Chain A
């Protein structure tokens, strides 16, 4: 058996001229796969089947249970060239977290590679070969740090065995160092390139026989390496979806139904077709609601340049049949959510007896929190390029879940999945929007209609804001019963929000994934807790947005805690710690949760709700922020803590509220416990960015609807935090852990605590209570 033969692929990002097509090495892996299958070996290294006999220091994760699970086969992920170049395949999508660097870094360290000699290539969407590729849910490091180490260690052992074989000594006598194997106590040494061929002829060790290096020998893991794509990014050579260029390609934009579920009644393309450069005007078939990831339909203008397509689109006359969502009105909808939240809903957690405790309480405090829809507004708009001809589809897309896109393409085009290829470019931001492949299907459809001409479909920013998979809008209503000693004895939390599920099937109640994001997993040490969910129908596509339901939940719960502390004359931090209670691991069976607690898809025994860790991040953030320090007038500190995606995060925001209501944020201190921090510098970057995104959603983010139509359309009315007013200094404090504390993800969990921390700081500064997002700063003007 041999490792896949090495083919010089070139540095995809670094050396490719802008006009080139990102060549993906699909064929290598496909042929590799076929080879394994012929030997009856495919799947031999799938961790899911290797139960008991694993290397030491491993733990189960939800990675096994993901579609196509984990593949632990160095032959799929690693190639070594005779010149020593090590090529590692990145199978997760890079959207800004650094995962394209961090996972290969783990593998490279474990195999003893010199990072300077590592090349990274991007896998196409092919989960049977690479295992799950759905880059979402802050899962990449959590699910793959172990598989990367196992593969790296396997390659290192093969190289050592090859050297021992060549020198005729027992393997104990040799040792891998950096990019070479040396003879212990001897003088012989051989570089990885020299040994590659012989190593490739050796069998891959069984997982149970793989020996990981000791933590003390880590060179990159836990320390970090520079971003692999850095040079390509700063020189403009990095290839995002919009940068794919194919010979003879055409550019398309489209108009889509202004109301979700609407249809094209008729259209007049004559004026559009008369625009110089316009090649064709093509109707894209819609999909009946709920459309999942299928296109919403509309009319596309295909042209020689994007500009011609845009001009053609201006001239297009389309009549729409708006359908039943034409009355969607955000103000009316908000009132409805509020009414529903005032009534009992479906009980999703029932611990103790809330009704009785509320009746017996000396005092009941109630508050309701609101958040509107938000659009992802990834800096790179949704887009894809496709060629569909001769019964095959080849697509280039900034896809978070390339295999899902591939499956949807096959379904829509009626092709066998084997005849569909999805190449993954860099993503100019994802945030959940690019988990959905509707834009790729549009591109493919147009190419097919045009007989196989390559077509790039680009959404304009207006399309992106008006036709998003929006973050849900929600009302969270919380009531707390307090006894005569000032202890919280009852907590009733009602959540009303259109559900993500409604994008896939008619649904009015939230599903366990949404309920598990800050509602039923509430960690407070309160004897009587009841969570309810009231029904409401969606009128737009509901998607997931970086950290999902945790945003409104953390906002409501963490602001409400501050309100209670104030009402009771308590210090917010002390009161919060009292609510969290003593350090312990919560037992979901004692929490009264209906059905099973959704623990982000990972085993609860490995990743329990640990209030000790929750307390510790509160203490750390407060200590670093100087909690309790005296603040000047109209300045304040605000605190919030939230566990999401199995990561514990507390933030303390310092705000200054100017006379005109402008809120400035001189500093945010964020404490993070994400288990073992594999790449601390990139972790810090994620939390710095999350502070900015949190501030944006605090002050700017609202997509509102009138007559079923989105009222916002571009960055002028869907603003972002800019350098004129941004969190001046974000200090990220990472809780140190050994490797054996399982790493969790960091892409999302930084967002939820920011808005409540800011809102609580504004209260401290002004005495004005914030209960809705985005914050109307006019209300904060000095009287």
Chain B
């Protein structure tokens, strides 16, 4: 039974079991590989996407839960990389291996959509969901701040 939802501004229908985490539907069926697998148990944030504008973990959100709703992945944030968060990331040279960064960027974008100018503690709390094994936290924090205050 196909499940329909809006993905990056377009209607899509996915023919897959409703209990499949949307992570695998995105990656293996829709070929949108910008959303990453890191742990599969909601413990690393690599799979962060937006569901109705809020940051969620694609590895624990089931396909049936997104039916009829609005999903945004990194591919839909700004394909040209001009979202303020993406620009801040580039300006401060945040990524090392880069693997965690799509999840980091999606989380930061959701945070800033909700709070225009978060405090340091609010940035810490929101971004603490996302692991960066390369250890880019200092720059991630600075880039969230930069994106908030204008690039």
Q: Are B28 and A307 in contact (CB under 8 A)?
A: yes
- From 468 to 509 in chain A, residues with beta carbon under 8 angstroms from any chain B beta carbon are none
A735 within 8 A of B: no
A429 within 8 A of B: yes
Set B28, B40, B100, B133: member contacting A305, Cβ < 8 A: B28
Set A233, A461, A727: member contacting B38, Cβ < 8 A: A461
Q: Are B134 and A429 in contact (CB under 8 A)?
A: yes
- From 1 to 60 in chain B, residues with beta carbon under 8 angstroms from any chain A beta carbon are 16-17, 20-21, 24-25, 27-29, 31-41, 43-44, 46
Set A97, A235, A460, A685: member contacting B93, Cβ < 8 A: A685
Q: Answer whether A18 and B136 are a contact pair too, CB < 8 Å, given A234-B95, A245-B31, A307-B24.
A: no
Closest B residue to A720 by beta carbon equals B131
Q: Which residues of A contact B81 (CB under 8 A)?
A: 231, 234-235
Q: Are A715 and B43 in contact (CB under 8 A)?
A: yes
Q: Are B37 and A381 in contact (CB under 8 A)?
A: yes
A377 to B46, CA, bound (A): 13
Q: Are A379 and B38 in contact (CB under 8 A)?
A: yes
Chain A, interface size category, equals 35 or more
Q: Answer whether A97 and B96 are a contact pair too, CB < 8 Å, given A381-B37, A690-B135.
A: yes
Q: Answer whether A236 and B35 are a contact pair too, CB < 8 Å, given A426-B97, A429-B97, A722-B131.
A: yes
User: Which of A229, A234, A431: most chain B Cβ within 10 A?
Assistant: A234
Set A226, A238, A431, A689: member contacting B98, Cβ < 8 A: A238
Q: Which residues of A contact B46 (CB under 8 A)?
A: 379
Q: Are B95 and A377 in contact (CB under 8 A)?
A: no
Q: Answer whether A723 and B140 are a contact pair too, CB < 8 Å, given A96-B134, A235-B80.
A: yes
**How many residues of chain B have a CB within 8 Å of chain A?**
62
CB distance from A93 to the nearest CB of B (A): 11
Q: Are A380 and B128 in contact (CB under 8 A)?
A: no
Closest A residue to B125 by beta carbon equals A724
A237 to B35, CA, bound (A): 10
Q: Are A230 and B16 in contact (CB under 8 A)?
A: no
Set B27, B99, B105: member contacting A428, Cβ < 8 A: B99
B150 within 8 A of A: no
Q: Answer whether A276 and B124 are a contact pair too, CB < 8 Å, given A234-B89, A715-B39.
A: no
Q: Which residues of B contact A259 (CB under 8 A)?
A: none
A104 to B137, CA, bound (A): 27
Q: Which residues of A contact B80 (CB under 8 A)?
A: 235
Q: Answer whether A96 and B96 are a contact pair too, CB < 8 Å, given A234-B101, A720-B131.
A: yes
CB distance from A663 to the nearest CB of B (A): 16
Q: Answer whether A716 and B102 are a contact pair too, CB < 8 Å, given A234-B89, A236-B73, A377-B133.
A: no
CB distance from B21 to the nearest CB of A (A): 7
Q: Are A379 and B102 in contact (CB under 8 A)?
A: no
How many A-B pairs fall under 8 Å by CB? 200
A533 within 8 A of B: no
A692 to B96, CA, bound (A): 13
- From 88 to 119 in chain B, residues with beta carbon under 8 angstroms from any chain A beta carbon are 89-90, 93, 95-102, 105
A90 to B88, CA, bound (A): 27
Q: Are B138 and A688 in contact (CB under 8 A)?
A: yes
Consensus secondary structure, chain B interface: loop
CB distance from A434 to the nearest CB of B (A): 11
User: Which of A304, A690, A724: most chain B Cβ within 10 A?
Assistant: A724
Q: Are B43 and A235 in contact (CB under 8 A)?
A: no
- From 210 to 238 in chain A, residues with beta carbon under 8 angstroms from any chain B beta carbon are 226-227, 229-231, 233-238
Set B21, B34, B136, B138: member contacting A237, Cβ < 8 A: B34
What 1/0 mask marks residues of chain B from 64 to 98 whose CB sits below 8 Å from any chain A CB? Answer: 00000000011101111100001001100101111
- From 96 to 144 in chain A, residues with beta carbon under 8 angstroms from any chain B beta carbon are 96-98
A381 to B27, CA, bound (A): 15
Closest A residue to B135 by beta carbon equals A692
CB distance from A244 to the nearest CB of B (A): 8
A251 within 8 A of B: yes
Q: Which residues of B contact A685 (CB under 8 A)?
A: 93, 96, 136, 139
A127 to B118, CA, bound (A): 50
Closest B residue to A726 by beta carbon equals B137
B127 within 8 A of A: yes
Closest A residue to B83 by beta carbon equals A234
CB distance from A678 to the nearest CB of B (A): 16
B146 within 8 A of A: no
Q: Which residues of A contact B31 (CB under 8 A)?
A: 17-19, 245
Set B29, B40, B89, B128: member contacting A722, Cβ < 8 A: B128
CB distance from A746 to the nearest CB of B (A): 12
Closest B residue to A692 by beta carbon equals B135
Set A236, A426, A723: member contacting B137, Cβ < 8 A: A723
Q: Which residues of B contact A431 (CB under 8 A)?
A: 133
Set A234, A681, A689, A723: member contacting B128, Cβ < 8 A: A723
B148 within 8 A of A: no
Q: Answer whether A688 and B97 are a contact pair too, CB < 8 Å, given A236-B74, A305-B28, A461-B40.
A: no
> Which residues of A are interface residues toward B (Cβ below 8 A)?
17-19, 94-98, 226-227, 229-231, 233-240, 242-243, 245, 251, 276, 304-307, 310, 377-381, 426-431, 458, 460-461, 681-682, 685-686, 688-693, 696, 714-716, 720-724, 726-730
For the complex of A and B, the 9 pairs showing the least CB-CB separation, nearest first, are A236-B34, A692-B135, A428-B99, A96-B97, A236-B74, A689-B135, A96-B96, A233-B98, A243-B33
Q: A689-B135, A714-B41 are in contact. List 7 more A-B contacts (CB 8 A).
A: A233-B102, A461-B44, A688-B139, A690-B135, A692-B134, A692-B137, A715-B38
